């Protein structure tokens, strides 16, 4: 509960500061945060000028210098502080929140948010307290939980973690394709039973892979499976006959036609109102009986009950799932016991060191923000995702 501990300390400091302000006559736009040391008292006005810092030294005299911007880190309850935060503290005053009540206390005066909880609903609930917020950075590729009407309509900039997970997710997809082609799930079951059983398996080369969502993750998938000898096709808003990473990129309207040609269908799309429930009974009936579905996008893009029916009826041959409509998956969920299904716990892109990589990416963008340069990985708030490079 490291995040909770730090948040409580911060809230106590603010309350103490408010009491001192009341005694000294400071209030409203002049609210201050005092910090006592053996040598000096630092008073940082929280008015309109966020960069005006007055340092009163014992013995008289004062000087004005630039104060640090305020960064609030919103974590999941119980989540540990992200690695690399000392580098953030060197650049900014850092606060922590982990739910709606703590965010309501820390959001006033915040210039930047770093959101590590990709499922959070706290920001929408505490939004009315965001009086100075300029930029929100999500340490995830998907930003669906952050997209609520007031944020979409407002002028707060949103960025995401595009690029961090692209390669490792593509490796996961290629691994899953080869695992199905070489019948590894059945081999593992036979091994557990100590049974020696020779079988013929599929040749992966030349198989067609349909990647639904041709953004940065989808492109990396197309690149990697293409290098392995498979034929990658993409689905995107805008069709392209020529593309460096795909045999062809087809438009959204061509989805059902292309599903009928694919041996492997990979969901790499963001969760938006347009993609929620996209893979339903109609989509599964459009797929080959021999096709496998791989979902590394977002769970709600697939209607789970329709998927189970399609698997049980032999409408598709299998599914490799890393994301689910409800997470974590209930222990008694029927997907656990299906022999033509492989599952992982929303970890397709999580490599050793990924959390520090996310902080480093935030710092790179923070330095751009501080210099007034354009940020990278800008999210189109209307579309709900960052455009591909």
Helix (H) or strand (E) holding 170: helix 166-181
| Helix (H), strand (E) at residue 10 | helix 2-24
Which residues are registered as beta bridge partners of 71? Answer: 94, 112
Two structure tokens written together for 336: 């656990």
Q: How are beta strands 264-267 and 292-295 bridged, if at all?
A: parallel
CA distances from 164 to 169, 196, 346, 350, 381 (A): 10, 41, 15, 9, 20
Catalytic residue chosen out of the listed positions 327, 339, 356, 364: 327
Radius of gyration, alpha carbons of the chain:
25
Query: C-alpha dihedral over 116, 118, 124, 128, to 10 degrees?
Result: 10
Cα 240 from Cα 263, distance rounded (Å): 21
Cα separation of the two ends of the chain: 38
**Helix 216-227 and helix 166-181, axial crossing angle in degrees, nearest 10:** 40
Q: Which of 388, 367, 126, 349 is nearest to 237 (CA)?
A: 388
8 Å CB contact between 4 and 75: no
Q: Is 298 a catalytic residue?
A: yes
The helix-helix angle for 166-181 and 184-192 (nearest 10°) equals 70
Beta sheet of 264-267, edge-to-edge order: 248-251, 231-236, 208-212, 264-267, 292-295, 318-321, 341-343
Which of the residues 95, 137, 292, 298 is marked catalytic? 298
Q: Phi and psi (nearest 5°) for 62?
A: -155, 160
Burial class (CB in 10 A: 0-12, 13-18, 19+), 359: buried
Tokens of 254: 């061509």
The reply to whether 276 belongs to the active site is no
Closest by Cα among 190, 215, 208, 196 to 267? 215
By annotation, the residues acting in catalysis are 298, 327, 346
């Amino acid at each position: 509960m490291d995040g909770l501990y730090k948040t409580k300390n911060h809230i106590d400091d603010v309350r103490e500061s408010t009491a001192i302000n009341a005694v000294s006559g400071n209030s409203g736009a002049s609210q201050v945060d005092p910090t006592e040391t053996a040598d000096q008292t630092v008073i940082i006005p929280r008015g309109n000028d966020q960069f005006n810092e007055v340092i009163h030294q014992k013995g008289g005299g004062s000087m004005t210098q630039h104060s640090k911007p305020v960064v609030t880190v919103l974590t999941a309850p119980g989540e540990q502080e992200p690695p690399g935060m000392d580098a953030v503290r060197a650049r900014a005053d850092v606060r922590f929140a982990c739910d709606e009540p703590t965010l309501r206390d820390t959001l006033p005066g915040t210039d930047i948010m770093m959101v590590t909880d990709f499922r959070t609903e706290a920001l929408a609930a505490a939004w009315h307290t965001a009086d100075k917020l300029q930029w929100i950075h999500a340490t995830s590729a998907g930003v669906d939980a952050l997209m609520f009407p007031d944020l979409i309509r407002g002028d707060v900039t949103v960025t995401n973690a595009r690029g961090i997970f692209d390669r490792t997710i593509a490796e996961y997809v290629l691994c899953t394709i080869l695992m199905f082609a070489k019948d590894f799930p059945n081999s593992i079951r036979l091994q557990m039973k100590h049974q020696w059983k020779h079988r013929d398996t599929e040749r992966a080369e030349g198989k067609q892979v349909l990647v639904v969502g041709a953004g940065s993750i989808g492109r990396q998938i197309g690149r990697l499976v293409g290098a392995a000898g498979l034929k990658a096709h993409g689905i995107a808003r805008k069709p392209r006959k020529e593309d460096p990473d795909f045999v062809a990129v087809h438009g959204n309207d061509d989805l059902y036609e292309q599903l009928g040609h694919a041996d492997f269908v990979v969901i790499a799309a963001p969760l938006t109102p347009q993609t929620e429930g996209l893979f339903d009974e109609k989509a599964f009936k459009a797929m080959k009986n021999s096709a496998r579905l791989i979902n590394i996008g977002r769970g709600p893009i697939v209607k789970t009950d329709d998927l189970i029916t399609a698997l049980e009826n032999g409408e598709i041959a299998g599914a490799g799932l890393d994301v689910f409509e409800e997470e974590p998956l209930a222990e008694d969920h029927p997907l656990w016991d299906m022999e033509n299904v492989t599952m992982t716990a929303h970890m397709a892109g999580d490599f050793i060191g990924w959390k520090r990589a996310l902080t480093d990416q935030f710092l790179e963008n923070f330095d751009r923000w501080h210099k007034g340069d354009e940020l990278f990985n800008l999210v189109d708030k209307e579309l709900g995702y960052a455009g591909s490079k």
